[in-house]
A and B are shown apart, each in its own frame.
Chain A
Amino acid sequence: MKRSSWTGEPVSRRDIVRAGMGGAAALALAGHVAPVRAQGGDMLTFEQLYGKFSVLGLEFSEQVKRLKGRKVSMRGFMAPPLKAESKFFVLTKMPMALCPFCSSDADWPEDIVVVYLGDKQTFVQSNQTIEVTGTLEVGSWIDPETGFVSQLRLTDARFRSV
């Protein structure tokens, strides 16, 4: 599998340019590349995120309300970062093309989870199932750097391929 870096910290543009010139080789990346074992926590599935879907607003499930602020694990697929320097990635239920229709970063399905990593880790291919463990944050949040709006997040997270 080809790998490039995934980092929990901003990557400078120069790093990105360098990586581009060097092909798919790893970016400047210090440590933390070894596969990490999931740290446990309650398992949560994509089907369990919302209790109610409605045009006038969704409702978080009882499980999500109960697990808010606690360590949970979820399995899904890693969508590539919106911008190389963004600090988060999007965990999706199915591998997906980013906004297949309009080149906008606004058109994600409702059932996504945004993952903020605790430490740097390498990007894995979108075809690969991963398990992410982190602290479940619930409620609207606008990423200050990208303006990306999310409802559910796993913070201080780690992931492993499964």
Chain B
Amino acid sequence: MRHYWLVATAVALVPGVAGAQAIYPIDRATILSGSKFDFKVEFPEVVKEADVKVLVNGEDHASVFGKKAEFTEKEKDANASAIRLNDVVIAKPGTYKIEASVAGQPAKSVTWEVYGTADKPVAKNVIFLIGDGMSVAHRTAARIMSRGNTQGKANAKLNMDYLPNLAFIGTSSTDSIAADSANTASAYFTGHKSAVNALGVYDSRAKNSLEHPKQETLGQALRRAAPNKKLGIVTTAEVEDATPAALVANTRKRADKDKIVGMHFAVLPDVLLGGGSAYFLPQGTPGSKRKDDIDYIAKFRDEGYSIATDRDSLIKSAAETNSGKVLGLFHTGNMDVLLDRQFLKRGTVDKFPNQPGLVDMTKAALDVLSKNEDGFVLMVEGASIDKMSHPLDWDRAAVETIEFDNAVGVAREFAEKHPDTLVIVTADHTHGVGVVGTIDDNKPGDDMREKVGTYQDAGFPNYEDKDGDTYPDDINVSKRLAIFSNNFPDYYETWRPKLDGPFVPAIKNEKDEYIANEQYRNVPGAVLRIGNIPRSGDTGVHAVDDVVLQSQGPGSEKLKGYMENSDVYRVVVDALALGAKQ
């Protein structure tokens, strides 16, 4: 009690001690020279414009930024003042100290590093492959399932195992040590950190998701600084989902999917492949998730895009396109996973039976983009490694990892013929998952827990790949990998692959709490596990653990040791020489 009283008194005696509350970009921001960003200073209370002083390296900000920031006495979302200047550009690399003060009170300051790049690009092409949520356990599971292991040695390596340069990547957010796919992808593709759920913006006090201070995305940087370079975006998720959106979007809320379609349209990626057509269709069309009458399929077509809607039309479009522009939408929502598409025919495969896979899409994108003599940037996302890891469907997640690795193989094949290609393979964040041994149906009894083999009892699983397609011929073998999450909601552990469709471990009750999905209670051997995350959590969560990044090609030697995810952007734009020309 006494504490509170003391604090209250101190504030009362020294009015205005807070000065500026927040400055965007934030302290220690790293900014590409010549890139655009929105500058904003938020004051904690209403102040007079005449009392506000904002200096950049000791000079008036207007002389450095070329324009005076606009003063708002009372922001609509706060009973307080702010100044803001959109689309600021700093051409000269260096350290910039920003000091904001009100009427002689102590200033709040932040320091930015504006970095330049090489004058000439070392890489003509960049292929950036993201296994969404891909953790070390996913890779280990994929390697064992796909390639096998004999007497302790892998029978063969995965494609991604061959990339020579390796870094550990920190994925934390401006507001949390944890992160999601929005702000982690945003860090890779803007060079700025941000808050969970945000894409290409800093998290200010604005309420409207579109009014936060913007950061420049890689897609926008390419259009500004390298207009002859082609841009491709490939994903197995909706193209409005966080990772593909991070190349083009500026919003505090990744769920703004109808608006993100418009942001794609503003950048016009030359190749855009994935799911999510529901947000392209005008609201009157059954299946649409738009709230207006805009027909984005027609708009893209008017821009010269050929439209592909299944695997056959994708292959045809890629071969025949004259414009070099292909929009491929293969599902109204997220695309089905490989295990369902190729093996089990579950999920929504009956409704969308001819979806291409990530390998088909990567090949098609490279076919189209590589015709451009000025090179390209291609982002490829294996989205459903994450989308199957959340519901603890480790079999589907592992098979998705194999598919992603096959897309890495396509990229490496391309890079072999085109050595001026920087290839980066990484994840955006991790999951709390581990491979602990095997589960052997042939052990005695009905108690599934006793069939888990650990240490020397794990032995080796009996997956087979007789047809050599890199996928196990049968996922439901009698001795399979034991993969467990270290965090989970209440759920029934069934100890085996979910052959009827992707796992839904928990569902919501009327108290907004997630409870175990009763659909699995009667699976033979099923055991109720009581969750260890808050009851508001629907599925397994992202881990804070570092991500492993591997790379090859020109510029990749700089990707090493520990790096922030936002630092990776600097290597990419340096390889492409996107900095302001000096």
Using CB atoms and an 8 Å cutoff, list the residues of chain A in contact with chain B.
2-4, 24, 50, 53-60, 79-80, 94-98, 100-107, 109-110, 123, 125-127, 139-140, 142, 147, 149, 151
The distance from the CB of B119 to the nearest CB of chain A, in whole angstroms, is 41
Given the known A-B contacts A53-B351, A100-B391, A100-B539, are A95 and B519 also in contact in the complex, defined by CB atoms under 8 Å? yes
Q: Is the CB of A97 within 8 A of B309?
A: no
Closest to A50 in B: B286
Chain B residues whose C-beta falls within 8 Å of the C-beta of A104 in the assembled complex: 254-255, 257
Q: Is the CB of B387 within 8 A of A101?
A: yes
Given the known A-B contacts A140-B288, A149-B291, are A97 and B514 also in contact in the complex, defined by CB atoms under 8 Å? yes
Q: How far is the CA of A147 from the CA of B292 in the complex (A)?
A: 12
Q: Which of these, A3, A55, A98, contacts B330 with CB under 8 Å?
A: A55
- Per the 8 Å Cβ criterion, residues 284-311 of B in contact with A are 284-291, 297, 309-310
- Per the 8 Å Cβ criterion, residues 51-92 of B in contact with A are none
- Per the 8 Å Cβ criterion, residues 537-577 of B in contact with A are 538-539
The distance from the CB of B130 to the nearest CB of chain A, in whole angstroms, is 15
Q: Which of these, B242, B283, B287, contacts A110 with CB under 8 Å?
A: B287
Closest to B538 in A: A97
Chain A residues whose C-beta falls within 8 Å of the C-beta of B352 in the assembled complex: 53, 55
Q: Which of these, B286, B333, B504, contacts A151 with CB under 8 Å?
A: B286
Known pairs A80-B509, A140-B285. 13 more at Cβ < 8 A?
A55-B329, A55-B331, A57-B285, A60-B286, A95-B504, A96-B504, A103-B255, A106-B257, A127-B507, A127-B517, A127-B518, A140-B286, A149-B288
Q: Is the CB of A56 within 8 A of B509?
A: no
Q: Is the CB of A97 within 8 A of B287?
A: no
Chain B residues whose C-beta falls within 8 Å of the C-beta of A56 in the assembled complex: 277, 281, 285, 297, 309
A-B contact count (CB 8 A): 124
Q: Is the CB of B506 within 8 A of A97?
A: yes
Q: How far is the CA of A44 from the CA of B297 in the complex (A)?
A: 32
Given the known A-B contacts A106-B255, A110-B332, are A4 and B286 also in contact in the complex, defined by CB atoms under 8 Å? no
Chain B residues whose C-beta falls within 8 Å of the C-beta of A110 in the assembled complex: 278, 287, 332-333, 351
Using CB atoms and an 8 Å cutoff, list the residues of chain B in contact with chain A.
180, 197, 241-242, 254-255, 257, 277-278, 281, 283-291, 297, 309-310, 329-333, 348, 351-352, 386-387, 390-391, 504-512, 514-515, 517-519, 538-539
Given the known A-B contacts A100-B538, A103-B255, A127-B507, are A59 and B286 also in contact in the complex, defined by CB atoms under 8 Å? yes
Q: How far is the CA of A107 from the CA of B332 in the complex (A)?
A: 11
Q: Is the CB of A24 within 8 A of B277?
A: no
The distance from the CB of A83 to the nearest CB of chain B, in whole angstroms, is 10
Q: How far is the CA of A4 from the CA of B329 in the complex (A)?
A: 42
Q: How far is the CA of A56 from the CA of B251 in the complex (A)?
A: 26
Chain A residues whose C-beta falls within 8 Å of the C-beta of B512 in the assembled complex: 80
Closest to B506 in A: A97
Chain B residues whose C-beta falls within 8 Å of the C-beta of A24 in the assembled complex: 510-511
Chain A residues whose C-beta falls within 8 Å of the C-beta of B515 in the assembled complex: 127
The distance from the CB of A31 to the nearest CB of chain B, in whole angstroms, is 19
Q: Which of these, B257, B289, B539, contacts A97 with CB under 8 Å?
A: B539
Q: Is the CB of B538 within 8 A of A98?
A: yes
Q: How far is the CA of A4 from the CA of B510 in the complex (A)?
A: 7
The A interface is mostly helix, strand or loop, or mixed, namely loop
The distance from the CB of B57 to the nearest CB of chain A, in whole angstroms, is 41
The distance from the CB of B481 to the nearest CB of chain A, in whole angstroms, is 23
20 A-B contacts, Cβ less than 8 Å apart? A24-B510, A53-B351, A54-B309, A55-B331, A56-B297, A57-B287, A57-B288, A94-B504, A97-B504, A97-B505, A97-B539, A102-B241, A126-B508, A127-B507, A127-B518, A127-B519, A140-B288, A142-B291, A149-B283, A149-B290
Q: How far is the CA of A54 from the CA of B351 in the complex (A)?
A: 8
Q: Is the CB of B283 within 8 A of A140?
A: yes
Q: How far is the CA of A2 from the CA of B513 in the complex (A)?
A: 13
Chain A residues whose C-beta falls within 8 Å of the C-beta of B509 in the assembled complex: 2, 80, 125-126
Q: Which of these, B286, B348, B511, B514, contacts A57 with CB under 8 Å?
A: B286
Q: Is the CB of A151 within 8 A of B287?
A: yes
The distance from the CB of A28 to the nearest CB of chain B, in whole angstroms, is 15
Q: Is the CB of B288 within 8 A of A95?
A: no
Q: Is the CB of B331 within 8 A of A100?
A: no
Q: Is the CB of A97 within 8 A of B288?
A: no
Q: How far is the CA of A58 from the CA of B281 in the complex (A)?
A: 10
Chain B residues whose C-beta falls within 8 Å of the C-beta of A125 in the assembled complex: 509-510
Chain B residues whose C-beta falls within 8 Å of the C-beta of A80 in the assembled complex: 508-510, 512
Chain A residues whose C-beta falls within 8 Å of the C-beta of B387 in the assembled complex: 100-101
Q: Is the CB of A140 within 8 A of B284?
A: yes
Query: Which of B288, B332, B507 has the most chain A CB atoms inside 10 A of its CB?
Result: B507
The distance from the CB of B109 to the nearest CB of chain A, in whole angstroms, is 35
Q: How far is the CA of A125 from the CA of B514 in the complex (A)?
A: 11
Closest to A124 in B: B510
Closest to A140 in B: B283
Q: How far is the CA of A3 from the CA of B509 in the complex (A)?
A: 10
Q: How far is the CA of A58 from the CA of B285 in the complex (A)?
A: 7
Q: How far is the CA of A58 from the CA of B284 in the complex (A)?
A: 11
The distance from the CB of B340 to the nearest CB of chain A, in whole angstroms, is 14
Closest to A147 in B: B291
Closest to A79 in B: B508
Top 3 nearest A-B pairs (CB, nearest first) are A104-B255, A53-B351, A58-B287
Chain B residues whose C-beta falls within 8 Å of the C-beta of A109 in the assembled complex: 333, 348
The distance from the CB of B263 to the nearest CB of chain A, in whole angstroms, is 16
The distance from the CB of B325 to the nearest CB of chain A, in whole angstroms, is 18
Chain A residues whose C-beta falls within 8 Å of the C-beta of B309 in the assembled complex: 54-56
The distance from the CB of B302 to the nearest CB of chain A, in whole angstroms, is 16
Chain A residues whose C-beta falls within 8 Å of the C-beta of B333 in the assembled complex: 107, 109-110
The distance from the CB of B508 to the nearest CB of chain A, in whole angstroms, is 5
The distance from the CB of B248 to the nearest CB of chain A, in whole angstroms, is 18
